[in-house]
Amino acid sequence: MFKISLPDGTVREMPQGSTPGDVAAAIGPGLAKAAIAARVDGELVDLTRPFTGDAALALVTGRDEEEALELARHDFAHVLAEAVQALWPGTQITFGPATDDGFYYDVMAPASREPFGMDDLPAIEEKMREIIKADKPLRREVWSRQQLIDKWTAEGETFKAQWAAELPEGEDLTVYWSGDDWLDMCRGPHLPSTGKLDPQAFKLMRVAGAYWRGDQKNAQLTRIYGTGWLNKKQLNAHLTRLEEAAKRDHRKLGGEMDLFHLQAEAHGSVFWHPKGYVIWRELEAYMRRAIDGAGYKEVKTPQVMDARQWEQSGHWGKYRENMFVIPDEVPNVADEGPLVSNDADWMALKPMNCPAHVLIFRQGIKSYRDLPLRIYENGCCHRNEPHGALHGLMRVRQFTQDDAHIFCREDQIVAEVQAFCELADRIYKDFGFTYSIKLALRPEKRFGSEEMWDKAEAELRDAVVRAGLATEEYGWEELPGEGAFYAPKLEWHLTDAIGRTWQVGTIQSDRVLPERLDASYIAEDGEKHRPVMLHRAIFGSYERFIGILIEHFAGKLPVWLAPVQAVVATIVSDADDYAREVTERLKAAGVRVETDLRNEKINYKVREHSLKKVPHLLVVGKREAEEQTVAVRTLGAEHQKVMSLDDAIAMLKGDATAPDLRP
């Protein structure tokens, strides 16, 4: 008999050959029906997986939403592959993982037909529902590597055969049967049967091209994407979020509001139009007020630096594939090896600002009294992001960071990080964001000693605790293995108006780069010591932060950020002179204002300026001119307000005033 320990502390004795499903049935029929998987000694397994000895067991039900969703999406992917092969025999299947909101499967259509397209999705969905309703048991078996190679080769599954052939020899592999007529190679686990899926809780979304193993040199496949949930209510909520996200798409709104555009001549870089650049300048001015008040010194560093500098910093070995090099062909070299012969003159566009800031720190002798030294730069960087990864303002090749580096003594680290946490808190709240904070811990491949990482992680943790932010309210969480190669980091994840999260701000406690680039200061003992270097940003990049703001506010930016804060529009031409007078007085009050004197109906003007997300429309006609009033239409309000011109100017001046973070 095996002793099976349950979460409530009880122990059940079960005969050899028993499974987690047997334990669920022994406890009661309700649990047997609700259970979908199990954790045995912490490992997620199928309900039908026999115990191999005494074990700790936790049964998983649909109430364990995170695990249940992962299982359901994995199963939806398998059902998708089975449906495609049932509809079109000869289709080859490859990989089909779960994703953050659904699943996909890469397939190759049979030679007898064209690659799969959007028109095929309804038929695939219908077949998937048929498979789910059939409630086919999902059964695990262990096969040898050679058995799998023979099976896939015999059935013309060349991709699966290649995959199996690359797995370790002598290792038994698992397959899962769907009923008795379809199987796939998979580690699992899976739900007990296809009937555990809700046939109304998924939707196939789109198709895209993909390459076998992600390599352009390999065969092209079709990737079929779907979204999958535990029930129809969750699916509908997700589809509503997608619809709302589409309305808020910064690329769409950026065009409607005439803010920026992107084009092939500068793929991955942004053409900012005058109105879009107003937003940029306002953010830049706002951030300068913040850093001036926090004791930073602003600098400007070169765009192009000698490649040897990047080799010495460690970026060359870790980041070379993402750097633009001049000229663009440089030999592959080991991180610690010589870069190139002495007569070469290789340069690289900077992908980050930190090495240049170290070079500024190294100019002249620094004393312990000079620390902390806070160096800030609106630094333009270039990263050679893959073509397919580029996405509007959110992922670009040229971007500008609100970047700063704090050089400090060991005893100053916690206070500096705490001050940064408090500054970031004030800034994000100015924009109406809530956020969570994560601590990204040491990755597997890293520089520095274990002692160094222990200290750096403890310092960041301590600073967040002192700032009062390491709480459930702020979503405090630690992320093993997700730090940078040179330092752990705190991450700020903003939540937008429709519940999406965006990772923006960060601060990293780095002892590696000062060592590699020989930064030092003279301490009280008269000896040279290494400073600690805190890398920090709040916006992350101006481009991405502006994209996030546009989507968060659906284009209806706070008045102080709006490119045009008011438009004075006439009803009749007799009011033109008064409209010009109103415009001049608003300009004198510091309001960004335009005048619309066109011979168009006022309703047309209202619609047009609403589409451009102008916060205030001041409508004037003969009566307003005679009475020195304006009819104010505020974006999103149902009714207009008739106000005296003086009152309207005072209101707009207050709305248009930017926050000031200086003491």
By the 8 A CB rule, do 575 and 625 touch?
yes
Question: CA-CA distance, 429 to 160, in Å (whole number)?
Answer: 51
Active-site residue, 405 included: yes
Instruction: Answer for the pair 260, 393: CB distance below 8 angstroms, yes or no.
Output: yes
Q: Which amino acid is at 28?
A: G
Question: Distance between CA atoms of 500 and 491, rounded to whole angstroms?
Answer: 16
Phi, psi of 434, deg, nearest 5: -95, 160
Buried b / exposed e over 362-391, threshold 16 CB at 10 Å, is eeeebebeebbbbbbbbbbbbbbeeeeeee
Q: Does the annotation mark 39 as catalytic?
A: no
Q: Which two tokens stand for residue 461?
A: 């943790």
**Contact present, 567 and 561 (Cβ < 8 Å):** no
Catalytic annotation on 489?
A: yes
Told to judge if 403 belongs to the known catalytic residues of this protein, a careful annotator would answer yes
Would you mind telling me the total number of residues written for the chain in this entry?
663
Q: Of 49, 129, 123, 59, nearest to 91 (Cα)?
A: 123
The binding site for Zn(2+) consists of: 354, 405, 535
Structure tokens at 169: 């020899």
From the list 535, 536, 552, 592, the catalytic residue is 535
Among candidate residues 85, 309, 401, 508, the one labeled active-site is 401
* Residue 215 annotated to the active site: no
Instruction: Give the integer Cα–Cα distance in Å for 525 and 412.
Output: 17
Q: Summarize the annotated binding site as residue ranges.
A: 354, 405, 535
At residue 140, what is the residue type? R
Radius of gyration of the chain (CA): 30
User: Could you say which of 22, 92, 127, 354 is catalytic?
Assistant: 354
Beta strand pairing call for 325-326 and 260-261:
unpaired
Active site residue 535: yes
Q: Annotated catalytic residue: which of 196, 203, 405, 612?
A: 405
User: How buried is 523 (Cβ within 10 angstroms: 0-12 exposed, 13-18 middle, 19+ buried)?
Assistant: middle
Residue among 403, 425, 496, 596 flagged as catalytic: 403
Say whether 380 is catalytic. no
Residue 51, classified by CB atoms within 10 Å of its CB into exposed (0-12), middle (13-18) or buried (19+), is buried
List, by residue number, the catalytic residues. Answer: 354, 383, 401, 403, 405, 489, 535
